[in-house]
Chains A and B, each alone.
Chain A
Amino acid sequence: MTLLLLALVWLIGCGLVRWMLPGPWGWSLHNCFIVSIGAGIGMGIASSLYFLCLAFFGPRIPVLAAVAGVALVAAVLLGMLVKRRGTLLEWASGEATPWYLTGAFGLALVTAVAIFVVYALTKPHGEWDAWSIWNLRARFLVRAGEFWRDAFSSQLDWSHPDYPLMLPGIVAMCWTLAGSEATLAPAAVAFLFTFSTAGVLVATLGALRGKTQAFIAGILLLGSISLLVNGANQYADIPLGCFILSTLALLCLQERSPDDLRFSILAGLTAGFAAWTKNEGLLFVVALIAARVWAMLRFGNRQAWKSQLLKFATGFLAPLAVIVLFKLRFAPPNDLLSRQPHQIVEHLATMSRWIFAIQSFVTAPFVIGNFLIPVVLVLALYWFLVRFKVEPRDRPAVATILMALALTLAGEFAVYVALPGDIQWQVHTSIDRLLLQLWPSGMLAFFLAANQLQLAPKLKAPAKTAEKGKRAPKASRA
């Protein structure tokens, strides 16, 4: 039942995305993109509807079932009956992908799924944050009945009751409609987010750079142990990373299809769901808007930025309304933001906090992904051998990603220095996951900027004296 519910939620997302980005049925890169990005969007929509049902009608299962059913039918009909033509995503042209790369991608995918499944079986309830924050909130929403607002009680301040409800909402919705608190629900949600992140990355790079770069990026992402582990731990950083990547990927695709502004609408929607997942998502949205405007004015079409921003705002509006309702009517104040001004000034004036934060931001990238060798060194080697060459048409997209990630990191750095009482505890318990949120998007920028690869061995020029049709000597065939 749980899996069926999640499949239907997935269908809501796919239907909506297909309506926005119509394309022919069948196996194609376009549909891979729809299926990948549709998972997150479906879960974002479903959790928003769940929260709205609770807020306006209380814990009434028939109302929730009816609303979810209407959303499903509407999305499926929209997706199936759409007639207009839109931008079609296809593999970018390039040289043939070597067999070993296709094989390695398949092996990476199978290994990643195996790691996730075995790890999830070992920890069916997830890890610390899952049972102290996300699934705890879901339990309150489901078990407390008419007292569901107790989930946001300030007496539970240690469990951050002000955090938004994307993840608890979708889990609680599954538990409510299925009639049981199966551990399969949060685990399956985590699985969908983890692997749809890989799907979005591969499909986007496939459309922008071709199959070879897409598969290399996919192998690296699926080999990121901390991504799989945090996913299986049911932490919200992976869904947040998925929404951040989806937003930036859609804006990259927008650059390639400047006339089809539906990419910007969908980017607004996924950015809104990022903010509906974690408070850091709000910081990302602010950083993204600033980065996008700057990149468009600096590298892009100066006439287009206003219309793109308007479409982005259109998509962002619905999740924003849900977030505002939650924050104003239900959520208690955030523990970090409730610091007194004199405490913030005191923190900012403490040099040791700055030094510790800088140290942490320099060393943390070396452990990102938990590879056998620090991945920054591997990527540095890759860059040294391959180099970057950003095509002019991709400059606004790459600039948007890099500036958005840089501003987000700068914002997080400022939060670390200014707000927490114990900066060491705060950094030690969060910086690796914070970088993990941005890791898939960083990879999108890296492989978007990487030079075109030449993997096929160079063929020797035929000897001028060779006769046409003459068999080549054995030595040259070896």
Chain B
Amino acid sequence: MSGHRFAVVALISISLASSLWFLLDVISAYSYSSEAFGVAAFEKRFQLLRQNLPPRSVLGYVSDNPPDNTQAQAEFYLTEYALAPAIIKASTGEPLEVANFHTNTPNPALLKAKNLTLVQDFGNDVFLYRNNTR
């Protein structure tokens, strides 16, 4: 085999092998994919709250996620994405706070520390709180 043919065959073999290998990975990932965490799940969870928000709402945000965690950051972004065009701020400095919890019985100590009182439970661990320090 000439050098040129070897170069071409090597290049296309590696390229095709890489993509076929990845295709198998993608197909198996698709077969096992679940929507427990993802945009669709967030859309569903926050749907009721979004329908009840007035135009140009600006809300604070509270979560039971550990701070400075990638998952916590992703969930904050997904909350904004689900509730757009409301503006969600990553703090509890607003009169109203949206709560993205992972339980339907939030930690009372956390709520007390942040001076939050429940306005409405929207189900799916989504709550709206009033900030009493404002």
Contacts and interface: CB of A to CB of B under 8 A. Distances in A.
- Could you tell me the dominant secondary structure of chain B's interface residues? helix
A382 B10 contact: yes
A125 B40 contact: yes
A111 B16 CA distance: 8
A455 B27 CA distance: 35
A421 to B, nearest CB: 15
B12 A216 contact: yes
B39 A131 contact: yes
Interface string A91-122: 00000000001001001100110110011011
Contacts of B20: 111
A371 B14 contact: yes
Closest CB pairs A-B (n = 6): A223-B15, A144-B85, A125-B39, A385-B7, A132-B77, A385-B3
B6 A385 contact: yes
A139 interface: yes
A335 to B, nearest CB: 15
Contact of B15 (A123, A150, A220): A220
B23 A115 contact: yes
Interface residues of B, number: 41
Given A111-B23, A131-B77, A455 B18 contact: no
Interface of A: 101, 104, 107-108, 111-112, 114-115, 118-119, 121-125, 128, 131-132, 135-136, 139-140, 143-145, 147, 150-151, 153, 155-156, 158-159, 216, 219-220, 222-223, 225, 228, 369-373, 375, 378-379, 381-382, 384-386, 453-455, 457-458
Given A158-B90, A453-B4, A108 B56 contact: no
Given A128-B74, A131-B78, A122 B16 contact: no
A161 B78 CA distance: 16
Interface string B13-29: 01111111111001101
Contact of A455 (B4, B15, B17, B39): B4
Interface in B31-66: 33, 38-40, 55-56, 58
A116 to B, nearest CB: 9
A123 B35 CA distance: 10
Contact of A107 (B16, B85, B89): B16
B101 interface: no
B19 A223 contact: yes
Given A115-B19, A132-B81, A104 B12 contact: yes
Nearest to A142: B85
Contacts of B16: 104, 107-108, 111, 219, 223
Given A147-B85, A373-B14, 7 more contacts: A122-B33, A151-B85, A219-B15, A223-B16, A386-B7, A455-B4, A457-B2
B10 A378 contact: yes
A131 B4 CA distance: 45
B80 interface: yes
B81 A131 contact: yes
A471 to B, nearest CB: 28
Contact of A385 (B4, B33, B84): B4
A220 B77 contact: no
Given A104-B12, A115-B19, A139 B7 contact: no
B88 to A, nearest CB: 9
Contacts of A135: 81
A381 B10 contact: yes
A219 B12 contact: yes
Nearest to B29: A122
A155 B89 CA distance: 7
A364 B11 CA distance: 20
A115 B18 contact: no
A349 B40 CA distance: 46
Given A216-B8, A225-B22, A454-B4, A139 B81 contact: yes
Given A150-B56, A219-B16, A382-B10, A114 B23 contact: yes
- Name, among B40, B58, B81, B85, the residue most crowded by chain A CB atoms within 10 Å (CB to CB): B85
B39 to A, nearest CB: 4
A455 B81 contact: no
Nearest to B20: A111
Contacts of B30: 118-119, 121-122
